[in-house]
Amino acid sequence: MEKSKVLVVGGAGFIGRRLVAASLAQGHPTFVLMRSEIGVDVDKVQTLLSFKAKGARLVEASLDDHAGLVAAVRQVDVVVSALSGTYIRSQVKLVEAIKEAGNVKRFLPSEFGMDPSKMEHALAPGRITFDDKMEVRRAIEAASIPHTYISCNCFAAYFCPNLGQIGTLLPPKDKVRVYGDGNVKVIFVDEDDAATYIIKTLDDPRTLNKSIYLRPSENILSQSDLIVKWENLSGNVLEKIYIPADEFLASMKGFWQSIRNGTHLPHFLRRLPDKL
C-alpha cells in the first residue's frame, strides 16, 4: 500500500523531531513546516536542515499565514501537529487551513500526553493546556475533519530520570521528595517508541476518528517503583521526604503564580534545596 504523505508541524521540537524521524523511517514522504516563528533558534534550524538531508521536504509557512498554510496542507494526505505551549491554541488556525484545503485524510493534533477529555480536575497551569486542547478538538469535530487523538500519558524523559521530582531533570543524590504515599500508578512511555506508534496509526483504518492510548504494561509504575529501581541500579538508598497529598495540592494552587511573580516557592520546595 502506498504510504500517505505526511506534514509535521512543530517538527523541530521535543516530540516533533521524533515524529519526523519515525515518518521517514517508515517510508512516508515527509514534509516539515518551517515556521518563521522559530526565529534565530540555531538548534531548530540545524534540526530542520538535518531532516532535509535525510529526505524530508521543508515547506515554509507561518501560523499567521492562512494562504501559506493551505498551500502546505494541499501537498499532503496527513497532518501531524507537535506544537506545544502557547502554540496549542494556535492549532485552530491549522484546523481552518485543513478545512479549506479539503484534501486531508487524517489530522493528529498535538496532544500526546494525558487525555484532556479526562482531566477536568487538573490544576493550573496544566488545566489551561488541557482546556486549549479541548478547544482544538471541538474545532476539529465541528469542521468534520478526519482525526486521531493520541494519549501517551507520561513521557519517560521528563519523569523517570528525576524520579518524579519537580523542578529538575536530574536524579536526586541523597534525598527524594515523595508525593502522597508514592504508590499511585502512572504510565511512562519512551518518546521514540511513542513516535513510532503514532506514525503507525496514520494509515490504519482502525484508528480513524478514535482516541488511541499507549499503555505498555511493563511501564505502569508508581513513584515508589521508580525510586526502588534507581536505588537498585545506583546501590544508594535515598532518604524519603513524604509530602502529604493535601499539602502538595494546596501549595500548588499558588505555586505557578509565585513563580511568575518571582516571589516564594511552596515551603516544602523552598526548604529542600539546602538539603539536597
pLDDT, position 189: 96
pLDDT, position 224: 97
SS3 (DSSP) at 39: coil
Say whether the peptide bond before residue 125 is cis (omega within 30 degrees of 0): yes
pLDDT, position 168: 85
| Cα distance between residue 7 and residue 142, in whole Å | 22
* Residues belonging to the active site: 133
pTM reported for the whole predicted model: 0.87
Residues paired with residue 58 on neighbouring β-strands, in sequence order: 32
| Cα distance between residue 272 and residue 140, in whole Å | 45
Tell me if 186 sits within 8 A of 151, measured CB to CB.
Answer: no
pLDDT, position 272: 37
The DSSP code for 147 is: B
Tens digit of each residue's pLDDT, the chain (276 residues): 799 999 999 999 999 999 999 999 999 999 999 987 776 778 888 999 999 999 999 999 999 999 999 999 999 999 999 998 888 999 999 999 999 999 999 999 999 999 999 998 887 767 888 999 999 999 999 999 999 999 999 999 989 999 998 888 888 999 999 999 999 999 999 999 999 999 999 999 999 999 999 999 999 999 999 999 999 999 999 999 999 988 877 777 665 555 445 544 444 443 333 333
Alpha carbon 108 to its chain's center: 12
Task: List the beta strands (DSSP E) in 98-208.
Answer: 106-108, 148-151, 154-155, 175-179, 185-189
pLDDT, position 41: 78
- Percent helix, strand and coil across the chain, each to the nearest 5: 45, 20, 40
What DSSP string runs through 204-216? -GGGTTEEEE---
Residue-wise pLDDT tens digits, 48-101: 999 999 999 999 999 999 999 999 999 999 999 999 888 899 999 999 999 999
C-alpha grid cell for residue 242?
513524604
